[in-house]
Structure 1
Amino acid sequence: MSVFPLKPILVVEDSAEDFMAISRAFRKHALRNPVLRCEDGDQALEYLQGYGKAAGWPLTLPAIVLLDLNLPGTDGRTVLGKLKQDAQLHSIPVIIFSTSSNERDVEDCYELGANTYLTKPIEYAALEEKIRLTIHYWLEAATLPFAN
């Protein structure tokens, strides 16, 4: 049993409806990690680049980032690029979770360093299954970096 607190999961999602569905799926699959939401790319970068400095934000970086692409302000592609170019942040797994299945979007994200690209399904049961697989792989099967 670990004595370290569980790292948060950061969900960068502007849609309140999508965030509620994702959160519900996390709860159904008994995710114990706290789930944080940033509503746009600017807020996500503020937290990730200045973690531990702003009141109300955790003192640790997230275990994984679930990142939407089409965000107001700074979009998900820019957030992804900045995370993967930052020496303190580049090892955090970034999972793109977007409605876009456009081949160019997929290729661009992998070129920018995305660890996984998942297309958001329309039906809740399919979304729930993708969240279950994400939890299983990234938080149970994979060994993540210990830094931060």
Structure 2
Amino acid sequence: MELKRILLVEDSPQDVELTLAALAENHLANEVIVVRDGEEALDYLYRRGIFKLRLEGNPVVVLLDLKLPKVDGLEVLTQLKSDATLKKIPIVMLTSSREEKDLLKSYDLGVNAYVVKPVNFAEFVNVIKEVGLFWAVVNQPPPGSMPPVSNVQQLRA
């Protein structure tokens, strides 16, 4: 099984550490790119700024916090879902917001899933494990979400 790249957009250092630990503990990604605000997320996905030389291919999923500095999660979501090239990337809103307006707005803008971060450590780890299992292992990603490898090579592997 080929492990995939996940983009984590999170400004809380504690939540970044918990998420990375949960993904690593469950061996759910071979690479997790962490960016701290919406502007960095867009730079990564559009391969600009410090990310202009990054490897080709998009992440298999974007774990996106709602409340972010510079460009918030809803703005990032809006931009990605209105871009013909990037709109197929699954976006999971991973947030502490339980507000119905945030939930509705996220789905109106095309989010693929909305997950409220539990406060309890064990529950948080379990939620990340479940999210990671589904999006990085079970779900079939859209074309272009992995580094280019020919189908022939994949079939022979």
Q: How high is the TM-score relative to the length of structure 1?
A: 0.90
How far apart, CA to CA, are the structure 2 residues paired with 1:146 and 1:72?
30
> 107, 111, 116: which one pairs with 2:113?
116
Between structure 1 and structure 2, the one with the greater Rg is: 2
Q: Structure 1 CA distance, aligned partners of 2:21 and 2:51?
A: 29
Tell me what 2:98 maps to.
101
Change (3 A) 1:53 1:131: closer
1:59 Cα deviation from its structure 2 partner: 2.2
Residue in structure 1 matched with residue 132 of structure 2 by the alignment: 135
In structure 1, stretches of 5+ residues that fail to align are none
For structure 2, the 5+ residue unaligned runs are 146-157
Q: Which has the higher contact order (CA 8 A, sep 6+)?
A: 2
How many angstroms does 1:15 deviate by?
0.9
User: 1:125/1:72 Cα in 2 relative to 1: closer, same or farther (>3 Å)?
Assistant: same
- Structure 1: which amino acid aligns with 2:79? K
Q: Distance in 2 between matches of 1:53 and 1:27?
A: 23
Identity %: 37
Deviation for aligned residue 1:140: 2.0
- One-letter identity of the residue aligned with 1:143: Q
Do structure 1's residue 84 and structure 2's residue 81 form an aligned pair?
Answer: yes
| In 2, Cα distance between equivalents of 1:38 and 1:58 | 16
Q: 1:25 aligns with which of 19, 22, 25?
A: 22
Asked if residue 44 in structure 1 is aligned to residue 41 in structure 2, the reply is yes
RMSD (Å), alpha carbons: 1.7
SS at match of 1:118: strand
- How far is the alpha carbon of 1:137 from its aligned partner? 1.3
The structure 1 segments of at least 4 consecutive aligned residues displaced by more than 2 Å after TM superposition are 50-53
Aligned equivalents of 2:123, 2:55: Cα separation in 1: 31
